[in-house]
Amino acid sequence: MTQQAQTIQGSIVAIVTPMFEDGSVDWKGLEKLVEWHIAQGTNSIVAVGTTGEASTLSMKEHTQVIKEIIRVANKRIPIIAGTGANSTREAIELTKEAKELGADAALLVTPYYNKPTQEGLYQHYKAIAEAVDLPQILYNVPGRTGVDMANETVIRLADIPQIVGIKDATGDVPRGQALLEGLAGKAMTVYSGDDATAYQLILSGAKGNISVTANVAPKEMSDVCAAALAGEAEKAENLNTQVANLHEILFCESNPIPVKWALHEMELIETGIRLPLTPLAEQYRTPLREALTTAVVSLAGCSSLAVNNGSLDYKETASLEPLKYPEGSMVRPATPLYPAPTVEALALEHAPVLENKRGNRFAMPRPQAAQVMSNAESTETVDTAVSRPQLIIDGNKNPLLKIEGNSATIWQYTLATLSSLNHQIVGQSKNGYEATIKIDQQVYVLRLTAVGSSNNLAVFNADNSFAAPEKATELLTQIYQNWPA
Active site residue 67: no
Q: How far apart are CA 359 and CA 164, in angstroms?
A: 49
Q: How far apart are CA 37 and CA 18, in angstroms?
A: 14
Of residues 32, 99, 125, 139, which has the active-site annotation? 139
Q: How far apart are CA 452 and CA 209, in angstroms?
A: 41
Q: How far apart are CA 48 and CA 16, in angstroms?
A: 8
Active site residue 471: no
The count of other CB atoms within 10 Å of the CB of residue 417 is: 21
To 5 degrees, how large is the angle CA 112–CA 114–CA 119?
90
Q: What residue type is assigned to position 286 of the chain?
A: T
Q: Tell me, what DSSP letter sits at residue 26?
A: -
Of residues 67, 167, 207, 260, which has the active-site annotation? 167
Instruction: Choose among 403, 413, 332: nearest CA to 372.
Output: 413
Q: 16 and 260 in contact (C-beta within 8 Å)?
A: yes
406 vs 177, 208, 485, CA distance in Å? 49, 37, 13
Backbone angles phi, psi at 130, to 5 degrees: -75, -25
Q: How far apart are CA 46 and CA 54, in angstroms?
A: 11
Active site (catalytic) residues: 139, 167
